[in-house]
Amino acid sequence: MPPDTDEYFMSRAIALAEESGRDGDVPVGAVLTLAGRTFFARNEKERRPDPTAHAEVLAIRSAAATLGVWRLSGGTLYVTKEPCAMCAGAIVAARLERVVFGCGDPKGGAAGGAIDVFASEAVNHRVAVTAGILAEETAAQLRAFFAARRGRDRPPVFDDTTAFRQGQRGPVVL
């Protein structure tokens, strides 16, 4: 996989998600690229404990602290699962140019899954959204984590129509 492609950065996020899963957090990883720099984060809600320690928020915080700016214009955030409402708000607030995610989240996703923060007329910044990059791999990672938590395996279920009707973004994992 060539570097500097959506698939390359998503594969890096998947590796980070694997680390968070091993530590008992829901396996979500994030990679933020901006101005030739790359920032890495993974879910750490359980580890910290901090309800806001989602991979997306931690990647944004790392970039802002390192660069000394809150406005991360031109940045792209790669995340293994569709961002929640809190993370979507942080992405908008940071003025990121683009968000790329793997699998959808019909129950809590805020990029078209449960709601669509990025398409809302109420937000003051537009973020381009690319969905479904390595979606099967990211969905399998989450399913395996939750199956292990439940102590049983569960077959994959994909439904392209449930949350993403009206021509929106990629496969949904139930």
Does pLDDT of 165 surpass 50? no
Instruction: Tell me which residues are annotated as active site.
Output: 56
Top-confidence residue, 164 or 105: 105
Sequence-distant (≥ 6) Cβ neighbours of residue 157 within 8 angstroms: 173, 174
* pLDDT of 156: 52
Does pLDDT of 25 surpass 50? yes
What are 79-137's pLDDT values in tens digits? 999 999 999 999 999 999 999 999 999 999 999 999 999 999 999 999 999 999 999 99
* CA 160 – CA 103 distance, rounded (Å): 11
* CA 110 – CA 120 distance, rounded (Å): 10
* pLDDT of 3: 81
* pLDDT of 4: 82
Structure tokens at 119: 């398409």
* CA 128 – CA 157 distance, rounded (Å): 27
User: What kind and span of H or E run contains 59?
Assistant: helix 55-67
> Which range (58-72, 137-151, 156-170) has the least confidence?
156-170
Does pLDDT of 164 surpass 50? no
Does pLDDT of 70 surpass 80? yes
